[in-house]
């Protein structure tokens, strides 16, 4: 297994009270290095402009990369950038590209991208919900265009719906999107009736669902659909804010639930896609829970 990160991702400053802060990534990196001292760490390259333009309008790319000489600049009510944010966003998006290239070349079956800012709320033309570039969408478009893949699955178990990812690919038959997320939360999208061209699969879970309902929902609905899609590559929007300790949601999962879903995804990836899974960090805002869940997730990717 390979792991990607870059020091620039720690330089994205969102202000002292913002939940999406550099301490999140430090907690993830420290926990993974303690748990898996043999993990192969690689430096994430910066995404190129052409990589970003596959999924984002030029105006959005320019907005994110406008220099911020000092202080902070608010792009929307939740999304803040500082002097280091543009560089961080480039390396966060570039990590997924490098990880896709690595698993496609056979360097390893699985990869985890420990990066920030997260990405799955960013649409083709708008930053949103802490997200600047849509990292998993950039990776999927690269896999489609550079590697010629015809069946790419994006699995999103973040507690919030990945509205940006869905919007980018809902008319693209090469990419299927599978998401479970808590009802009643930002961004208030992700209804079961949102189907794209049949390639969008959403399930809403009520607050307090817990691991039993989460697992049965995936077993009964989402995993069979994923298996039927026969993905050549599985990309994961790995958000851990569905954990019971997370301050922004109430889905009440624990680390074992994330290890379980990861193992299920690996089984399907082995069946159809030579075991290829690339995972990118999304949400998770309790530092201890985030660290614990990431260790469990990466442990399942290594098995």
Catalytic residue, from 12, 121, 272, 297: name it.
121
| CA 286/CA 263 separation, integer angstroms | 23
12 is catalytic: no
Sign of CA dihedral 276, 90, 259, 166: negative
**Do strands 80-81 and 73-74 pair parallel, antiparallel, or not at all (unpaired)?**
antiparallel
Sign of CA dihedral 9, 13, 18, 21: positive
HSE at residue 247, side-chain half, CA atoms within 13 A, is 7
Q: Residue 26: left if φ>0, alpha if ψ -120 to 50, beta else—which one?
A: alpha
How far is the CA of 224 from the CAs of 11, 138, 178, 219, in angstroms? 40, 26, 11, 7
Q: At what angle do helices 85-105 and 58-65 cross, to 10 degrees?
A: 120
Give catalytic residues, as residue numbers: 121
């Amino acid at each position: 297994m390979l792991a990607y990160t870059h020091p620039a991702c720690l330089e994205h400053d969102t202000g002292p009270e913002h939940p999406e802060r550099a301490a999140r990534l430090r907690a993830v990196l420290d926990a993974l290095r303690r748990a898996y001292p043999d993990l192969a760490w690689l430096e994430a390259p910066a995404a190129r402009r052409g990589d970003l333009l596959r999924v984002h309008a030029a105006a959005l790319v320019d907005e994110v990369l406008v220099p911020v000489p000092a202080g902070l600049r608010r792009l929307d009510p939740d999304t803040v950038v500082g002097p280091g944010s543009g560089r961080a966003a480039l390396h966060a998006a570039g990590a997924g590209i490098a990880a896709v290239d690595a698993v496609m070349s056979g360097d390893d079956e699985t990869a985890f991208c420990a990066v920030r800012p997260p990405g799955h709320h960013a649409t083709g033309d708008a930053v949103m919900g802490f997200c600047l570039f849509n990292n998993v969408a950039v990776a999927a478009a690269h896999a489609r265009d550079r590697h010629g893949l015809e069946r790419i699955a994006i699995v999103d178990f973040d507690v919030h719906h990945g509205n940006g990812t869905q919007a980018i690919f809902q008319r693209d038959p090469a990419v299927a999107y599978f998401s479970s997320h808590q009802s009643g939360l930002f961004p208030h999208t992700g209804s079961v009736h949102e189907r794209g061209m049949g390639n969008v699969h959403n399930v809403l879970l009520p607050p307090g669902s817990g691991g039993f309902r989460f697992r049965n929902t995936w077993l009964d609905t989402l995993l069979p659909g994923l298996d039927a899609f026969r993905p050549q590559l599985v990309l994961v929007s790995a958000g851990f804010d569905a954990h019971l300790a997370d301050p922004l949601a109430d889905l009440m999962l624990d680390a074992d639930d994330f290890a379980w879903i990861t193992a299920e995804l690996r089984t399907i990836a082995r069946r159809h896609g030579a075991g290829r899974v690339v995972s990118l960090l999304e949400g998770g805002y309790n530092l201890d829970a985030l660290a614990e869940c990431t260790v469990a997730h990466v442990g399942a990717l290594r098995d």
